[in-house]
Amino acid sequence: MIYLIGICISLAIGFLVIRLLTAGRLHLILNILLGLALGLGIVGTTAFYIHLIFNQFNRWMPVGIVVLLLVYLSFLNKKRMSFPRALSRNPKNKKTGPPIKTFGGDMTFTHAHAWGLLTLGVLAVPLAISAHHFPLGGWDAWSCWNLKAKFIFLAHENWKDVLTPGFSRSNTQYPLLWPLINVWFWDLGGRFDQAVPMLNSIVIALLTAGILLFGLWELTGIFLTSILAAVIVTALPFGIILLISQYSDSLLGLYLLSSFVCLLLAEKYGLPKLKILSVVFLGLMSFTKTEGLVAAGIVFLIISWHECPRKNGFPTKTFGNDIGKLVLWFMIAALPTLIFTLAFAPHTQNFINGLASTEKPTDWARISVILVYPWLELISGKWNGFWILALGGILLAGKKLWHSTLGVMALSLILYLAVVMAYYAVNTYFEIGWWLENTLSRILFALVPTIALWIGLGLKPETKAA
Amino acid sequence: MGKLKIVFFICLILAAVFDLFAASIQAVAQLNDRNSIPLHSLGFQFIGLENLFKDVRTVGYYTDKDLDQPLAIAQFEQAQYMLVPTVLDLNNTQYHWVIFDCTSPQAAMEAIKKFGLTPVKANHGIILAFNPNGV
Tens-place pLDDT, residues A274-294:
999 999 999 999 999 999 999
Side chain identity, residue A325: K
Domain assignment of residue A105, yes or no: no
Number of domains present in the structure of chain A: 1
**Rounded average pLDDT over A327-335:** 95
Cross-chain residue pair B84–A396, CB shorter than 8 Å:
no
The secondary structure of residue A106, as a DSSP letter, is: B
Residue of B nearest to A123 (CA): B20
pLDDT band of A347, cuts 50, 70, 90: confident
CA atoms of B121 and B127, how far apart (whole Å) = 6
Distance from CA of A456 to the nearest CA of B (A): 11
Q: Which of residues 228-247 of A touch B (CB under 8 A)?
A: 228-229, 231-232, 235-237, 240
Whether B18 has its CB under 8 Å from any CB of chain A: the answer is yes
Which phi and psi angles does A92 have, rounded to 5°?
-85, -15
pLDDT band of B36, cuts 50, 70, 90: low
Distance from CA of B122 to the nearest CA of A (A): 24
Q: What is the overall mean pLDDT for chain A?
A: 89
- Is A133:B33 a contact under the CB 8 Å cutoff? yes
Predicted pLDDT of residue A446: 96
**Rounded average pLDDT over A33-52:** 96
Predicted pLDDT of residue A463: 64
Cross-chain residue pair A147–B81, CB shorter than 8 Å:
yes
Closest residue to A240, CB basis, from B16, B23, B84: B23
Cross-chain residue pair A228–B74, CB shorter than 8 Å:
no
3 state DSSP class of A328 = helix
Side chain identity, residue A420: V
Domain assignment of residue A322, yes or no: yes
**Count of Cβ atoms closer than 10 Å to residue A440 Cβ:** 19
| Chain A hits for B24, Cβ within 8 Å | 126
- Angle (CA) A309-A400-A25 rounded to 5° is 60
**Rounded average pLDDT over A295-313:** 84
- Is A338:A327 a contact under the CB 8 Å cutoff? no
Domain assignment of residue A360, yes or no: yes
Cross-chain residue pair B87–A166, CB shorter than 8 Å:
yes
Domain assignment of residue A98, yes or no: no
Predicted pLDDT of residue A147: 95
Q: Which of residues 82-121 of B touch A (CB under 8 A)?
A: 84-85, 87, 89-90
**Rounded average pLDDT over B8-26:** 94
Domain assignment of residue A104, yes or no: no
Whether A142 has its CB under 8 Å from any CB of chain B: the answer is yes
Closest residue to B19, CB basis, from A136, A231, A393: A231
CA atoms of A169 and B21, how far apart (whole Å) = 37
Domain assignment of residue A299, yes or no: yes
| Chain A hits for B43, Cβ within 8 Å | 136, 142
Nearest to A10 by CA among A77, A60, A69, A54: A69
Whether B47 has its CB under 8 Å from any CB of chain A: the answer is no
| Chain A hits for B31, Cβ within 8 Å | 129, 133
Q: Which positions ≥6 away from A297 have C-beta within 8 Å?
A: A286
Side-chain-facing half-sphere of A78: CA atoms under 13 Å? 6
Domain assignment of residue A102, yes or no: no
How far apart, in Å, are the Cα atoms of A182 and each of A15, A192, A335, A350, A396?
20, 9, 20, 26, 42
Cross-chain residue pair A393–B8, CB shorter than 8 Å:
yes
Cross-chain residue pair A143–B12, CB shorter than 8 Å:
no
How far apart, in Å, are the Cα atoms of A333 and each of A278, A283, A327?
11, 4, 10
Query: pLDDT exceeding 90 applies to what percent of chain A?
Result: 68
Whether A150 has its CB under 8 Å from any CB of chain B: the answer is yes
Cross-chain residue pair B81–A125, CB shorter than 8 Å:
no
Cross-chain residue pair B26–A134, CB shorter than 8 Å:
no
Whether A394 has its CB under 8 Å from any CB of chain B: the answer is no
Range of the domain at A209: 2-80+121-458
**Rounded average pLDDT over A208-237:** 95
CA atoms of A441 and A454, how far apart (whole Å) = 19
Residue of B nearest to A170 (CA): B77
Task: Please write the tens of the pLDDT for every residue from A387-408.
Answer: 999 999 999 998 989 988 999 9
Q: Which positions ≥6 away from A181 have C-beta within 8 Å?
A: A40, A41, A43, A44, A47, A200, A251
Tell me which of B39 and A190 has the higher pLDDT.
Answer: A190
- Is B16:A235 a contact under the CB 8 Å cutoff? yes
Whether A126 has its CB under 8 Å from any CB of chain B: the answer is yes
- Is B23:A237 a contact under the CB 8 Å cutoff? yes
**Count of Cβ atoms closer than 10 Å to residue A312 Cβ:** 5
Tell me which of A317 and A288 has the higher pLDDT.
Answer: A288
Task: Please write the tens of the pLDDT for every residue from A250-278.
Answer: 999 999 999 999 999 999 988 888 999 99
Query: What is the per-residue DSSP string for A117-177?
Result: HHHHHHHHHHHHHHHHHSTT-SHHIIIIIHHHHHHHHHHGGGGGGGGSGGGGGG-TTS--H
Judge if pTM exceeds 0.90.
yes
Cross-chain residue pair A396–B8, CB shorter than 8 Å:
yes
- Is A241:A382 a contact under the CB 8 Å cutoff? no
Side-chain-facing half-sphere of A352: CA atoms under 13 Å? 12
- Prediction ipTM score: 0.91
Residue of A nearest to B77 (CA): A143
Distance from CA of B118 to the nearest CA of A (A): 26
Whether A147 has its CB under 8 Å from any CB of chain B: the answer is yes
Cross-chain residue pair A386–B8, CB shorter than 8 Å:
no
Furthest C-alpha separation in chain B: 81
- Is B34:B65 a contact under the CB 8 Å cutoff? no
Instruction: Sort strands A314-315 and A310-311 into parallel, antiparallel or unpaired.
Output: antiparallel
Domain assignment of residue A315, yes or no: yes
Of the segments A1-15, A76-90, A302-316, which one has the largest average pLDDT value?
Answer: A1-15
Query: What is the per-residue DSSP string for B47-60?
Result: TTHHHHTTT-SEEE
Q: Which of residues 407-466 of A touch B (CB under 8 A)?
A: 459
Q: Which positions ≥6 away from A88 have C-beta within 8 Å?
A: A98
Cross-chain residue pair A142–B43, CB shorter than 8 Å:
yes
